[in-house]
Amino acid sequence: MEPAAFVCPQSLASLEPRAWVPGRDSDSRAGTREPERGRLGADSLLDPTRLIRDPQSGRTYHRGRLLGKGGFARCYEATDTSSGHTYAVKVIPQSRVAKPHQREKILQEIALHRSLHHRHIVRFSHHFEDEGNIYIFLEYCSRKSLAHIWKARHTLLEPEVRYYLRQVIAGLRYLHQRGVLHRDLKLGNFFITENMELKLGDFGLASRLEPQDRRKKTICGTPNYLAPEVLLRQGHGPESDVWSLGCVMYTLLCGNPPFETADLKETYRCIKQVQYKLPTYLSVSARHLLAAILRPMPQDRPSLEEILQHEFFTKGYTPAQLPPSSCTTVPDLTPPSPAQSLFTKVTKSLFGRKKNKSKTALQEQDNLSRLVSDLVLTSICPQSSFKEPRLAQEETDGAPSLAESAPEEGSPRSLAAMGSSCEGSEECLTAATVMESALCALRNCLAFMPPAKQNPAPLASSEHLLWVSKWVDYSNKYGFGYQLSSRRVAVLFNDGTHMALSSSRKTVHYNPTNTKHFSFPVEAVPQQLQGQLGVLRYFASYMDQNLMKGGDLPSMDEAEGPTALLLQWVKTDQALLLLLSDGTVQVNFYLDHIKLVLSGWEPLLITFVTRDRQARTYQAPHLQRLGCTPDLRLRLSYVLRLLRQRSGA
């Protein structure tokens, strides 16, 4: 059984494990759970003791079943009586935070959690308090936690462990980049959503990273997952979270924590002396990675990035999705066929190849530039696998088909289905980050959106929106050309390089990678780039003479607005997906020329360009609260599915 968290007396963290929703894990012993109840039955609504009312807004919530409890708080399912939205609400009695330092700890947890916005972090919704309690409303995770899966399964397959650990590392890397230490990583704090997505939660013990000489030396966390330096009171650092991650990996693969004994003192002795056994049935790569993580000296442990680059992840199969049945039974995880694996490897080598910085690689880059200069660069896309878009059948639910007849932006037509400016892991992660942000915001918007017959009032202006107003796909020879609303024209070439012409047409911007940038006056472009400049001018002329602007959104002056690169473009049977480096996600539907532009993120702005080219911009929180037309909702749902497919979520 997973041991409880050990904390100092001043900590407000839970003293026993619990799971199910964002909070801590609760044992399922008899007498610790309330009976199951209907969400909004008439009898329960008449019971005033089960209603929670926000004194400020007047909104009321029905308190449902008990989900977990700890030393200072209880966690319940809670449903908004007006909208039907379900939350996990953490209820903290005022009597438990009567002392100033106790209340300050709770307020610090709230402030920290509400500042976190990531796909693999439990979403903080809102909080309020009344005379009796403090209420913290969090994202509801319907499939409990990884602790529940572990208790049902005891051990997991290596592909499953990779699937979960990749998501844990993504959330943990986000925390560390923001200077936040979790300090209580364990199975019960990894929550699982309805679609089997992992969310890192419970920030009761989290703290800000301090310099080495000022790091907190309090022993806190869960005994079986504590790092040696924590037990020795040498302070917490990111390496302590990495150690706990190794203990989590060991527990999932082996069925029990690496240092678990019947006696707590003996467990602590084993941790300090790093005494544990690696079962022989583990794969060689799993054994090597665990041995690398569970090292006594913090500085000797690999970073999160190095862990992801270990052969356990790079050479082992990771499923894109786990079935819900895997929560209780061993799933059938058949890897893709050899042909599919070969196609994936070829695609990665073409669109995600990390370029060697050696002289040989630079010479190859020059050779590619010369090929483009001679206008003889052939397509690097698998032409034989692409079919011309065809009319799609109507969806089974009777919703309008999002189908393609021909792109609005005209010929030349592409034989390529995808292009990307990613050249290595760093750049690919940039595109992945854009998709993750859009996924998180769009998923939250749709999950809580009520039905409506009309859209809410749009924003008065969207003058700062940067979007792709024209595009032309000629990647069967050169690359993907596009014009931004700032009137900058650019080309993402087939070799991964990027060149743009400023709105004044006086400056050329050249990006050999997403992180390297050179600019030249038009008259001073180096000779080896003259060929690419010729292609860029060809695209600019073609779009200017043959293509109409895609909507009535205002143009912005390039000097006043942001600049952005096209990170990735993807063509489906029904639409074109564009990811820009400023976080913008744009989807153009072929059949009716409708466009969706997602931007902003705080809050998310959703711009809907209709068939008659009229643009309306809405704030996602407004749509989430008031709803939207079925057509707009259909489009947003399609974009969500498309992003999920591309990100493997």
CA angle, 618 then 620 then 625, to 5°: 105
The CA distance from 462 to 494, in Å, is 33
Question: Which token pair is 366?
Answer: 């020059």
The partner residues of 96 in beta bridges, in order of sequence, read none
The CA distance from 559 to 570, in Å, is 29
CA angle, 475 then 480 then 483, to 5°: 155
**Burial degree of 214 (CB within 10 A; 0-12, 13-18, 19+):** exposed
Which residues touch 256 (CB under 8 Å, ≥6 apart)? none
Angle of helix 359-373 versus helix 530-546 axis, rounded to 10 = 40
Place of tokens 């979403």: 123
3-class DSSP state for residue 103? Answer: helix
Give the dihedral sign, CA 598/604/607/608: positive
Counting other chains too, the contacts that 529-532 makes at CB distance below 8 Å and 24 or more residues apart are 529/369, 529/373, 529/499, 530/373, 531/369, 531/370, 531/372, 531/373, 531/374, 531/375, 532/369, 532/372, 532/373, 532/491, 532/493, 532/497, 532/499
The backbone torsions φ and ψ at residue 193, rounded to the nearest 5 degrees and listed phi first, read -85, 180
Cis peptide before 630 (omega within 30 of 0): no
Nearest one of 9, 19, 12, 204 to 93, comparing CA atoms: 12
Which residues touch 358 (CB under 8 Å, ≥6 apart)? none
**Are 581 and 428 a contacting pair, CB within 8 Å?**
no
Query: Could you tell me the strand order of the sheet in which 86-93 lies?
Result: 51-53, 60-69, 74-80, 86-93, 133-139, 124-129
Set 43, 54, 80, 184: catalytic member = 184
What DSSP state is assigned to residue 557? -
The CA distance from 148 to 345, in Å, is 35
The backbone torsions φ and ψ at residue 544, rounded to the nearest 5 degrees and listed phi first, read -65, -35
Question: Which token pair is 608?
Answer: 């809907």
359 membership: H or E segment, kind and range? helix 359-373
- Other CB atoms within a 10 A radius of the CB of residue 477 amount to 16
Give the chain's end-to-end CA distance (angstroms, integer).
Answer: 30
The CA distance from 450 to 460, in Å, is 24
Is 595 assigned a ligand-binding role in the annotation? no
CA atoms within 13 A on the CB side of 486: 21
The reply to whether 374 belongs to the active site is no
The CA distance from 539 to 496, in Å, is 17
The partner residues of 587 in beta bridges, in order of sequence, read 577, 596
The CA distance from 535 to 483, in Å, is 14
Which residues touch 150 (CB under 8 Å, ≥6 apart)? 2, 156, 187, 251, 252
List the catalytic residues. Answer: 184
In the annotated binding site, the residues are 99
In the annotated binding site for ATP, the residues are 99
